[in-house]
Amino acid sequence: MEIWLLPWGLALLAYTVFLAWYVNWRGPLSKAEVQAALADLVATGLEMDGRNDLATLQAFLEADDGREFFMLNLVRIASGDIPDPVSGQPKPARQVMEGYTRMFLPALFARGGHPAIAARKIGGYFDAWGVEADPGWSIIGYMRYRSRRDLAALVVDPRFAGAHEFKFAAMPQTYSFPTRPQIMTLAGPKIWVALALALAAALGHIVLLHAELNSTPILADQLVAATTAFRAVS
């Protein structure tokens, strides 16, 4: 095998591993999986706190098509200091919120999810009618989920069950709903990971070719003979 093929083979292998993690290969949720997920949610008590609607989640899970989706989150962070849910000591709300994101983001990432967009609000409503007054939204988040199965697993993940208290304390108001992009001009990981691996493979290819050329010595007498023959012909 040509040595220069090695970096391209490694890049292909790495991208295959990436897709195995990033893409949902298990298809839509089955009816049994939906019922099990709802039972787990009821067992946690999260659907009883007035912040979640079990019927809405059930309808979303039952309509699963197996594809990725993006959760739009609109958040108002509390102003000033608030009591820390654990210590009770006053802390800035954004610092308290970190107690949630430190646990949530690794769990999301482990299931092929990630923040697609996070943006800070810098002005009031422009085009707005038929809605309540702006309560003072702080940030928006656009979170990519690999599948609805992963959402169901995250909701009841025991690894960050206690993290919800940080979220509730830091966010007096919020709402979120799932979306599917109709137009997306920003390149997602499927594209930029492929480009990054291709660039790395190309650089590896160049390095190996350069090393191969340098490892092939040209003997002085061969060079002299070739030069003499050229002069004789000319």
- Residue 17 burial by CB count (10 A; 0-12/13-18/19+): exposed, middle or buried? exposed
pTM: 0.85
CA distances 11 to 14, 20, 37, 196, 227, Å, are 5, 14, 37, 9, 42
Q: What is the pLDDT of residue 2?
A: 75
Same domain, yes or no, for 92 and 201?
Answer: no
Phi-psi region of 45 (alpha: psi -120 to 50; beta: other; left: phi over 0): left
For residue 223, is pLDDT > 50? Answer: no
Whole-number pLDDT of residue 159? 74
Domain total of the chain: 3
Q: What is the pLDDT of residues 58-67, one digit of tens each?
A: 999 999 999 9
Are residue 135 and residue 230 in the same domain, yes or no?
Answer: no
Q: Are residues 41 and 101 in the same domain?
A: no
**19 and 91 fall within a common domain:** no
**Neighbour tally for 145: CB within 10 Å:** 22
Whether 140 and 54 share a structural domain: no
pLDDT digits (tens, 9 = 90+) for 100-129: 999 899 999 999 999 999 999 999 999 889
Give the integer Cα–Cα distance in Å for 97 and 102.
9
Strand partners of residue 83 = 90
Q: Which of 39, 63, 87 is the last residue before a domain boundary?
A: 63
- Residue 62's CB is within 10 A of a number of other CB atoms, namely 14
With tokens 């079990």, the residue in question is 54
Residue 218 — very low, low, confident or very high, per pLDDT cuts 50/70/90? Answer: very low
Q: In this structure, are 40 and 81 located in the same domain?
A: no
Domain that holds residue 207: 1-25+188-234
Arithmetic mean of pLDDT, 79-92 = 92
Q: With 80 as the cut, is the pLDDT of residue 75 above it?
A: yes
